[in-house]
Structure 1
Amino acid sequence: MKVNQSYVWAVFVAVLLVGWLISGQFGRAEGDRSAGEVAAEGEAAAVVSVRARTIEAQPRTAQLVLRGRSEAVRKVEIRAETSGRVVALPFERGARVVEGDVICELAVDARDQAVQEAEAVLAQRQLEFEGARELTQKGVRSEVQSAQQKAAFEAAQAALARARIELANTKIIAPFEGTLESRPVDIGDFMRTGDVCGTVVDMSPYLVVGQVSEQEVARLKVGDLARISLVTGETAEGRVRFLARTADPATRTFRMEVEVSEASDTVRDGVTAELNIPLDDVAAHRISPAILSLDEKGVMGVRIVDAESRVRFVPVEIVDRGTDGVWVSGLPRKVTVITVGQEYVGSGQEVRVELEPEGAGA
Structure 2
Amino acid sequence: MTWLDLADDTLFGLDNLPYGVFSRGAGPGRRVGVAVGEHVLDLSAAAEEAGAPFAGLLAGGVLNPLLAAGPTTWRAVREQVREWLAGPRHADRVGAHLVPRAEVRNHLPFEVADYVDFYSSEQHAINAAAILFGAEAALPPNWKRLPIGYHGRAGTVVVSGTPVVRPSGQRKPRRDAEPSFGPSRLLDIEAEVGFVVGVPSTMGKPVPVGDFAEHVFGVCLVNDWSARDIQGWESQPLGPFLGKSFATSVSPWIVPLDALEHARVPQPAQEPEPFEYLRGAEPWGLDLALEIRLNGHLVSSPPFATQYWTAAQQLAHLTVNGASLRTGDLYASGTVTGPAKEQRGSFLELSWGGREPFELAGGETRTFVEDGDEVVISATAPGPGGRRIGFGDVRGRVVPG
Which band: TM-score by shorter chain? Answer: under 0.3
The structure that is strand-richer by fraction is: 1
State TM-score, norm by structure 1: 0.17
Query: Is the radius of gyration larger for structure 1 or structure 2?
Result: 1
Compare relative contact order (CA 8 Å, sep 6+) and give the higher one, 1 or 2: 1
